Amino acid sequence: MFSLELLFEAALFGVLLGCFYAAVSLGLSVAFGLLDVPYVAHPALLIMGAYFTYLVSSLGIDPLLSGVLLMPVFFLFGMALYRFYYETFEKRGSDAGVRGLGFFFGIAFIIEVGLILVFGVDQRSVRAGYIGSSLEIGDFRFPYRMLVAFVVALLLTLVLTVYFSKTFNGRAIKAVGQDEAALRLMGANPVKIKQLAFGIATAVNALAGAMLIIVGPVEPAMDRIYIGRTFCVVVLAGLGSMSGTLVAGLILGVVESVVLMTFGASWAPAVSFGLLLVMLGVRPQGLFGR
């Protein structure tokens, strides 16, 4: 039966869920929102980060720390991936977006098949003291795994916001998608700036992947679930807005949680696509613009 108490509980859980959605969307916000790169392989890299976290944590290392340790590796991989994309597609002309879309779809497919070949189709999970326990406040219980995602999302958003607004490279990343010629006049190489930004976007996926496997078990095909959600968050926020990504994640999390409580779990996956279509029709630039 519907009640205000249940609605309040759903909204509280939606806030935690929304911060998790924001955390897993930040990398896409950088690559797609700031660089105009059709980074549809983002969810696949997210799942790969979760599986790499599983491998590192199997050595007895905390999953959250495993994600942090993997960030430099993913950073270098992201830089190499963008360089290949640039030399093969972006450098050749204006139709790079269409061809690049096929390229990143191919990358996503290769990652998914590779994970299946190595790990199989069974779900994988990690262990930690905060997984499976909850913080009880009155009649409410908050899973520690969701609280961890909440804190990490806030920290990631803060760090990226400060970096993009207070450092030369950060401001260059925000400008490179708008005016490369002006950026060259300031002594910056647009290709290297984009390569740096793509490395950052991929490095964030390592930590976001750790959040994903902390929140729940993962499987290779799970990237398909997050394609709609991550793109919804980025478009809803406004391309390239880090703080907007956090707000958009909160909106999606709360709405999805309320819909799940009211209409059942079968309707929850449709929420992200519904919000995406509404935003594209009403305000294509997103809540916070670009």
* Inside any domain, residue 288: no
φ, ψ of residue 143 to 5 degrees: the values are -60, 135
Q: Token pair 């309707």 is at which residue?
A: 267
Name the domain count of the chain: 1
* Inside any domain, residue 287: no
Kindly report the length of the chain. Answer: 290
DSSP state for residue 135 in the 8-state scheme: E
| Predicted confidence (pLDDT) per residue in 57-73, tens digit | 999 999 999 999 999 99
Residue 81 near residue 202, CB atoms below 8 Å: yes
Mean pLDDT (whole number) for 259-263: 79
Please report which helix (H) or strand (E) contains residue 141, including its range: strand 140-143
Range of the domain at 24: 4-282
Cα(17)–Cα(2) distance, rounded to whole angstroms? 21
| Predicted confidence (pLDDT) per residue in 199-216, tens digit | 999 999 999 999 999 988
* Inside any domain, residue 78: yes
The two most distant CA atoms of the chain are separated, in Å, by 63
The domain that contains 228 carries what CATH number?
1.10.3470
* Inside any domain, residue 290: no
The pTM (predicted TM-score) of the whole model is 0.89
| Predicted confidence (pLDDT) per residue in 90-149, tens digit | 777 656 667 788 889 999 999 999 999 999 988 999 988 888 788 887 777 778 888 888
